[in-house]
Amino acid sequence: MEAQQGSPMSMLIIFAIFGLIFYFMIYRPQAKRNKEHKALMESLAKGTEVLTAGGLIGKISKITEGSSEVVIQLNANSEVTINRNYIAAVLPKGSVKTL
């Protein structure tokens, strides 16, 4: 009995198919999310209403260029300092007042 071996060309085709699946299912969507998050971080400014990854909603009261931290005003009496990477979304103007 002789063990069957696939041709090298068929193995190459299988690896190419797996490579394409990896690219379109994993790498490309992750790269797109990273690009969107980077654009979000660059659009932050004082007065922007944001939602944090922890579920806090507030308005940016202090942001320093080159710093990784922002100060978010939750209401008239309380402020929180967080890492800017934990900002999940920018909310439309007036969202904080409606809550």
**Inside any domain, residue 95:** no
Residue 99 CA to residue 30 CA, distance in Å, equals 32
% of the chain surpassing 90 pLDDT: 58
**Inside any domain, residue 31:** yes
The total number of structural domains that make up the chain = 2
Q: Are residues 12 and 50 in the same domain?
A: no
Closest CA to 67 of 39, 40, 44, 37: 44
Q: Are residues 14 and 26 in the same domain?
A: yes
Phi and psi based region of residue 47 (left: phi greater than 0; alpha: psi -120 to 50; beta: remaining): left
Residue 60's pLDDT is: 93
**Inside any domain, residue 13:** yes
Which band of pLDDT confidence, cut at 50, 70 and 90, is reported for residue 51?
very high
Domain with 68, as residue range(s), is 46-90
Residue 53 CA to residue 96 CA, distance in Å, equals 16
Query: pLDDT tens digits, residue range 21-42?
Result: 999 999 999 999 999 988 888 8
**Inside any domain, residue 97:** no
Q: Are residues 54 and 78 in the same domain?
A: yes
Which band of pLDDT confidence, cut at 50, 70 and 90, is reported for residue 87?
very high
* pTM reported for the whole predicted model: 0.67
Residue 99's pLDDT is: 63
